[in-house]
């Protein structure tokens, strides 16, 4: 049984969440998510955050840069935070 490393999926997950991933990649990710609750939660969290952001976007208009930063932050919190308990807090 081959197991794709979650970190390897990250780039693909971004595309998947974006909706820009290819069908084959989507299938791969969905297959991975069946076996990997971590990635499932990750995608779920990202989707919710993006939805939230999009809703706010309509009113506040956040620069893409900020959204990108949140994107990265969520990614790090979720993936690195789970592996490294000594991740820095605050800034
Ligand atoms: Zn995973």
> Are both 45 and 25 inside the same structural domain?
yes
> Are both 50 and 70 inside the same structural domain?
no
How large a percentage of the chain has pLDDT more than 90?
10
Mean pLDDT of 63-68: 69
Measured in Å, residue 62 CA sits from the centre of ligand 1 at: 30
Measured in Å, residue 19 CA sits from the centre of ligand 1 at: 18
Rounded mean pLDDT of the chain? 75
What is the dihedral sign for C-alpha 31, 34, 50, 73?
negative
Q: Residues 6 or more apart from 54 whose CB is under 8 A from it?
A: none
Quick check: 1 pLDDT over 50?
no
Structural domain including 72 reads 59-85
Measured in Å, residue 86 CA sits from the centre of ligand 1 at: 21
> Are both 6 and 48 inside the same structural domain?
yes
Mean pLDDT of 77-88: 56
> Are both 35 and 4 inside the same structural domain?
yes
The total of structural domains in the chain comes to 2
Measured in Å, residue 35 CA sits from the centre of ligand 1 at: 8
> Are both 39 and 73 inside the same structural domain?
no
- pLDDT for the residue 23: 95
Residue 91 lies in a domain: no
Higher pLDDT, 91 or 50: 50
- pLDDT for the residue 22: 93
Measured in Å, residue 60 CA sits from the centre of ligand 1 at: 33
Residue 10 lies in a domain: yes
Quick check: 33 pLDDT over 80?
yes
């Amino acid at each position: 049984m081959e197991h794709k490393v979650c970190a390897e999926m990250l780039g693909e997950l971004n595309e998947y969440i974006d909706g820009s991933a290819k069908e084959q990649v989507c299938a791969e990710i969905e297959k991975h998510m069946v076996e990997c609750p971590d990635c499932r939660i990750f995608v779920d969290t990202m989707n919710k955050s993006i939805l939230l952001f999009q809703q706010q976007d309509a009113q506040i208009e956040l620069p893409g840069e900020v959204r990108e930063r949140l994107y990265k932050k969520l990614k790090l919190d979720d993936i690195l935070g789970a592996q490294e308990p000594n991740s820095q807090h605050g800034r």
